[in-house]
Amino acid sequence: MDDMNPKPRAAEPHDRDFDVIYVYAGDSGDGPVHEELPARDAGQGVYELLASPGLTLNLAKGDLIRIDDPDRPATVLERGGNYCIQIYGSAIPGDEIERLEYEVRAGLGGTLDGRHGGSLALSVPAKVGGERIRVVFDGFTERTGIAWYYANIYRNFEDPEDETLLDWWLDR
């Protein structure tokens, strides 16, 4: 943000300042696509993400990242310990979004970080374990028919055919 506009205040318990950064999300036929994300400036070009992205892969809330080239994926310097779970649907009933948000918050200690039309971005701490996460999200899929996926677990996230896992969550 420039000096003419004050930084917005984060709607978090700590009420701290945040910046809006633009991360590379991929290419369209017209050029690079970027996503806005709230982040805390950690200094020296490093940012801590305050929300998981709804479009960008390989990032999650709490990650420390650096943007070396605005038209290339951000570099993850340190994982924040959260899975980014993305859901894409043409429309999701409001009561299902409310139910999922409650189950993620109360049952998993996670957050609904973004909502745009039928798309959702959620953060879930890896420490809760895959089985508990699958119960909540598979239940959502059973009720709605809408699939979900982990957006930050694949080593070669730019190649959808490569399912090699990063395994960063095993250290948690």
pLDDT at 157: 84
**Does the residue 48 lie in any domain?**
yes
Dihedral, 81, 170, 69, 32 alpha carbons, nearest 10 = -80
CATH label of the domain that carries residue 103: 3.30.70.600
Tell the residue number behind the tokens 């310097």, with chain if given.
Answer: 77
In a domain, 159, yes or no: no
Check whether residue 108 and residue 146 sit in a common domain: yes
In a domain, 135, yes or no: yes
Q: Based on the domain organization, do 90 and 145 belong to the same domain?
A: yes
Same domain, 93 and 142: yes
> Do residues 48 and 26 share a domain?
yes
| Rg of the chain, C-alpha, whole Å | 16
89 and 142 housed in the same domain: yes
Number of structural domains found in the chain: 2
In single-letter form, the type of residue at position 65 comes to: I
> Which candidate, 83, 43, 88, 87, places its Cα nearest to that of 66?
43
- pLDDT value, residue 15: 56
10-residue mean pLDDT profile of the chain (172 residues): values are: 38 67 94 97 96 97 97 97 96 96 98 95 97 98 97 88 88 70
Same structural domain, 54 and 35: yes
Q: Which domain holds residue 56?
A: 19-78
* Residues 70 and 90 occupy one common structural domain: no
Whole-number pLDDT of residue 55: 95
Residues 110 and 138 in one domain: yes
146 shares a domain with 94: yes
109 Cβ neighbours under 8 A, 6+ residues apart = 124, 125, 128
Q: Give pLDDT, residue 161.
A: 87
Q: Are residues 110 and 135 in the same domain?
A: yes
What per-residue confidence (pLDDT) applies to 4?
Answer: 40
Same domain, 66 and 92: no
